[in-house]
């Protein structure tokens, strides 16, 4: 592939709802430009983007794929992202390196939640954007309705650059609103000029007027010209549109059909003409050697720096670190230094990835996206620079996973293989997390949603040939007591030779401190228990609080005072006193009004106004206490305290209640006494689990 200088590069992320046609559109553009001779289909599992087995099996994108396409000497790096919300981490990684966005909307389905979320991402990352309305070939396609929906959401920023031309209810061409000319498709995206049909003229004059008004607002000179009734030149219109699209005050709407590769040329023309090259964007890092700000700004005259935004660890194609060059030029002999890890790395070869295809190149200029193979320590979010100018960029922020399942390896001998395979998957996916919950004897797998975790289990089997089983996780309850009791524990055993003798009287009472498992004190008079056995008594307590007598959960908030006991000069031992303490603990705990404590989390749910009633009703059903509401970016933030046990499956439920637009997060707040019915249910469930394990 050719070497492209910074001004000849466009980095464009494709966003939109799951199944709206992003992958098909990229495939159509690859076909239009001659990269592929035959256009692949998602249903046939032969597209450039969806090359992973899981994607081919499920018929949707799971990972972001880079597809570079040369259009008239400009390299457009398309970042084809998943539309399903469980794979949001992939989208966030791509957003970190995109300079502009194409939001794909199906003319059949209209503006879906995924398109609305895509707009929110563009606002957050300050990206210029174009809407591309695909599926225009479908019978029920309605371009005007999509434009109306977009106008309703985003006002007069929305500027349709096209109008459809139909014959016998079939999509055959379009009117170019900017040039006021008709276009009729011949093959694929090629067209011939044609007359503008009469039925288009009324809508066309309205769209044209909106467009000219937007152009007039870009400068006083053009505003004067507009009010005096003078015509704008084509050059004036183009220049003004480019300025407005880059600053986001105009959002063009284009159209076509991905499956028939119609409208792809117009989209690529618009990308080259209206979207900024990387040099129009800014990026700053910190020089770690002197603490100064390093203004990289995609200037290829400055020292080399790059940011790794994605890692691919594939058993077949190996490990690749995908990066965007932030300054300078990356060459085969560039000395690499990982600033985050304070380690040198070596450039073997420089690649451009197009799907799974690896294309070797000699160099990458600032603003370009490429890949390096087999870097030793480099991970997603790391900065590569030179030792002379060790710059570090901010890490990539991805969504926190809140959905989790307990997992077990089906085959015990595979445990090492499973942990190695999961480590590789976590290198690729920053929203995947493994937590070893020693206290509750379980290993937890965290992800964005149930579908995300399902894909992970499937990948472990298909890629790494290891099988795991996921089940409902154990909730980290605690056990404590509510009243004071005094109990005796005696351990006495006589068998040939030395016997065993330990005898303790311990007072158990609530300590009032739920942060600590226990407080141990002694009030022994007259040497009833010699001092050298006190540590053994405490050891018995230490072991006892790990697994409470009620339901096997850790014990907290107990004060144990050793007040009396007896010993035998020959038969007493540390072990005997430890065992006597364990007996006293079990008996005393069950006599001291034991209760289960459940974890309560502080929860934040953000939804549009119309869903607040449903959300609050649902939180009440989950025994939640709604604490208040705050307006946030045109939505409502609901704050509530909810028992953690009631949040199992919440991510799926929230999506179905809000059509996917709702978001939630939570953090641990405190422990509270669980209601009697909950306690009873937990005790029964744990007794059953213990039986099964035996």
- Residues 609, 652 contacting (CB under 8 angstroms): no
Per residue in 602-621, pLDDT (tens digit) is: 999 999 999 999 999 999 99
Nearest-angstrom CA–CA distance, 177 and 174:
9
Instruction: Tell the burial category of 147 from Cβ atoms under 10 Å away from its Cβ (0-12, 13-18, 19+).
Output: buried
Cβ-Cβ contacts under 8 Å for 547 (sequence gap 6 or more) = 553, 554
Same domain, 588 and 639: no
Cβ-Cβ contacts under 8 Å for 164 (sequence gap 6 or more) = 136, 141, 143, 171, 173, 174, 255
Residue 518 within any structural domain of the chain: yes
What is the predicted pLDDT for the residue at 207? 84
Q: Could you give the percent of the chain with pLDDT greater than 70?
A: 99
The mean pLDDT value for 300-308 works out to 95
Same domain, 465 and 487: no
Same domain, 297 and 274: no
Same domain, 271 and 333: no
Same domain, 94 and 175: yes
Same domain, 345 and 297: yes
The mean pLDDT value for 141-163 works out to 90
Residue 244 within any structural domain of the chain: no
What is the predicted pLDDT for the residue at 232? 86
Q: Could you give the percent of the chain with pLDDT greater than 90?
A: 66
Last residue of a domain, one of 470, 487, 518: 470
What is the predicted pLDDT for the residue at 470? 92
Long-range contacts of 353-358 (CB under 8 A, 24+ apart): 353/66, 353/312, 353/320, 353/322, 354/35, 354/48, 354/66, 354/67, 354/68, 355/47, 355/48, 355/49, 355/51, 355/65, 355/67, 356/51, 356/314, 356/317, 357/48, 358/317
Domain that holds residue 466: 403-470
Residue 317 within any structural domain of the chain: yes
Please count the helices (runs of H) and the strands (runs of E) in the chain: 16, 37
Instruction: Specify the CATH number for the domain of residue 152.
Output: 3.40.50.300
Per residue in 183-230, pLDDT (tens digit) is: 999 988 899 999 999 888 888 988 888 788 878 877 888 888 888 888
Residue 312 within any structural domain of the chain: yes
Same domain, 407 and 509: no
What is the predicted pLDDT for the residue at 529? 85
Assess whether pLDDT exceeds 60 at residue 694: no
Band of residue 316 on the pLDDT scale cut at 50, 70, 90 = low
Same domain, 274 and 137: yes
What is the predicted pLDDT for the residue at 527? 78
What is the predicted pLDDT for the residue at 47? 84
- What is the domain count for the chain? 5
Assess whether pLDDT exceeds 80 at residue 313: yes
Residue 75 within any structural domain of the chain: yes
Q: Could you give the angle at the alpha carbon of 120 between the alpha carbons of 305 and 64, nearest 5°?
A: 50
- Residues 574, 491 contacting (CB under 8 angstroms): no
What is the predicted pLDDT for the residue at 624? 94
What is the predicted pLDDT for the residue at 693? 63
Strand pairing category for 594-607 and 663-673: antiparallel
First and final CA of the chain: distance in angstroms?
63
What is the predicted pLDDT for the residue at 495? 66
Nearest-angstrom CA–CA distance, 411 and 265:
53
Assess whether pLDDT exceeds 70 at residue 54: yes
Last residue of a domain, one of 470, 489, 513: 470
Same domain, 326 and 367: yes
Cβ-Cβ contacts under 8 Å for 526 (sequence gap 6 or more) = none
Residue 397 within any structural domain of the chain: no
Nearest to 558 by CA among 535, 537, 536, 585: 585
Per residue in 5-49, pLDDT (tens digit) is: 999 999 999 999 988 999 999 999 999 999 988 888 888 878 888
Same domain, 162 and 256: yes
pTM: 0.88
Strand pairing category for 170-176 and 162-167: antiparallel
Same domain, 496 and 579: yes
What are the structure tokens assigned to 600, written together?
A: 């309560």
- Of 296 and 497, which is predicted with more confidence? 296
Instruction: Specify the CATH number for the domain of residue 552.
Output: 3.30.230.10
Count of CA atoms in the C-beta half-sphere (13 A) of 107: 23
Nearest-angstrom CA–CA distance, 557 and 93:
44
Same domain, 359 and 453: no
- Residues 108, 138 contacting (CB under 8 angstroms): yes
| 178: phi then psi, degrees, rounded to nearest 5 | -70, -40
Instruction: Specify the CATH number for the domain of residue 432.
Output: 3.30.70.870
Assess whether pLDDT exceeds 80 at residue 231: yes
Instruction: Specify the CATH number for the domain of residue 657.
Output: 3.30.70.240
Give the single-character DSSP code of 28. Answer: H
Per residue in 401-427, pLDDT (tens digit) is: 999 999 999 888 888 899 999 999 999
- Of 239 and 426, which is predicted with more confidence? 426
Last residue of a domain, one of 592, 625, 660: 592
Residue 224 within any structural domain of the chain: no
Q: 263-277: buried (b, 16+ CB within 10 Å) or exposed (e) per residue?
A: bbbbbbebbbebbbb
Mean pLDDT (the chain) is 91
Instruction: Specify the CATH number for the domain of residue 360.
Output: 2.40.30.10
Residue 214 within any structural domain of the chain: no
Nearest to 537 by CA among 523, 554, 557, 551: 523
């Amino acid at each position: 592939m050719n070497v492209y200088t910074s001004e000849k590069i466009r980095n464009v992320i494709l966003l939109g709802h799951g199944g709206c046609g992003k992958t098909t559109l990229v495939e159509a553009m690859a076909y239009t430009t001659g990269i592929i001779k035959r256009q692949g289909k998602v249903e046939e599992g032969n597209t450039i983007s969806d090359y992973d087995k899981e994607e081919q099996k499920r018929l949707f994108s799971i990972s972001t794929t880079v597809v570079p396409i040369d259009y008239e000497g400009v390299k457009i790096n398309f970042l084809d992202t998943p539309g399903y919300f469980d794979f949001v981490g992939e989208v966030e990684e791509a957003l970190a390196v995109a300079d502009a966005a194409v939001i794909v909307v199906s003319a059949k389905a209209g503006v879906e939640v995924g398109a609305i979320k895509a707009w929110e991402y563009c606002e957050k990352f300050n990206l210029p954007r174009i809407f591309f309305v695909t599926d225009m070939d479908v019978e029920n396609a309605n371009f005007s309705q999509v434009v109306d929906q977009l106008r309703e959401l985003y006002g007069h920023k929305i500027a349709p650059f096209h109008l459809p031309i139909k014959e016998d209810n079939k999509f055959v061409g379009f009117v170019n609103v900017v040039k006021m000319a008709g276009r009729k498709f011949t093959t694929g995206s090629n067209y011939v000029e044609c007359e503008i049909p009469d039925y288009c003229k009324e809508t066309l004059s309205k769209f044209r007027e909106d467009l000219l008004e937007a152009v007039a607002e870009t400068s006083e000179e053009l505003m004067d010209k507009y009010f005096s009734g003078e015509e704008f030149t084509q050059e004036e219109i183009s220049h003004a549109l480019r300025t407005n699209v880059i600053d986001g005050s105009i959002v063009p709407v284009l159209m076509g059909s991905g499956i028939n590769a119609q409208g792809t040329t117009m989209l690529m023309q618009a990308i080259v003409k209206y979207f900024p090259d990387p040099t129009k964007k800014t990026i700053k890092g910190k020089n770690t050697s002197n603490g100064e700000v390093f203004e990289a700004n995609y200037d290829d005259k400055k020292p080399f720096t790059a940011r790794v935004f994605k890692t691919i660890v594939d058993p077949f194609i190996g490990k690749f670190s995908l990066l965007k060059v932030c300054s300078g030029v990356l060459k085969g002999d560039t000395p690499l230094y990982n600033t985050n890890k304070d380690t040198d790395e070596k450039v073997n070869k420089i690649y451009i990835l197009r799907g799974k295809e690896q294309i070797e190149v000699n160099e990458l200029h600032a603003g370009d996206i490429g890949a390096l193979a087999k870097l030793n320590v480099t991970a997603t979010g790391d900065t590569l620079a030179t030792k002379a100018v060790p710059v570090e960029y901010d890490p990539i922020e991805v969504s926190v996973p809140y959905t989790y399942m307990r997992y077990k390896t089906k085959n015990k001998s595979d445990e090492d293989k499973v942990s190695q395979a999961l480590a590789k998957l976590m290198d690729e996916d920053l929203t995947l997390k493994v937590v070893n919950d020693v206290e509750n004897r379980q290993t937890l797998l965290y992800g964005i949603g149930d579908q995300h975790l399902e894909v992970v289990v499937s990948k472990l089997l298909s890629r790494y040939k290891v099988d795991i089983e996921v089940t409902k996780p154990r909730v980290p309850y605690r056990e404590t007591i509510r009243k004071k009791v005094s109990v005796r524990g005696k351990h006495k055993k006589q068998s040939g030779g030395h016997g065993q003798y330990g005898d303790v009287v311990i007072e158990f009472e609530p300590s009032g401190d739920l942060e600590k498992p226990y407080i141990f004190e002694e009030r022994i008079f007259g040497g009833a228990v010699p001092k050298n056995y006190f540590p053994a008594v405490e050891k018995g307590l230490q072991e006892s609080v790990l697994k409470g007598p009620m339901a096997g959960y850790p014990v907290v908030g107990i004060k144990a005072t050793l007040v009396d006991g007896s010993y035998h000069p020959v038969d007493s031992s540390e072990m005997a006193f430890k065992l006597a303490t364990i007996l006293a603990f079990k008996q005393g705990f069950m006599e001291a009004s034991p209760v289960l404590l459940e974890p309560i989390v502080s929860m934040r749910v953000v939804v549009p106004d119309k869903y607040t009633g449903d959300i609050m009703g649902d939180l009440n059903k989950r025994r939640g206490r709604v604490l208040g509401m705050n307006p946030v970016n045109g939505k409502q933030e609901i704050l509530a305290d909810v028992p953690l046990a009631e949040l199992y499956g919440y991510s799926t439920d929230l999506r179905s209640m809000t059509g996917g637009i709702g978001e939630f997060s939570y953090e641990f707040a405190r422990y509270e006494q669980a209601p009697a019915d909950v306690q009873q249910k937990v005790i029964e469930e744990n007794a059953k689990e213990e039986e099964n394990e035996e």
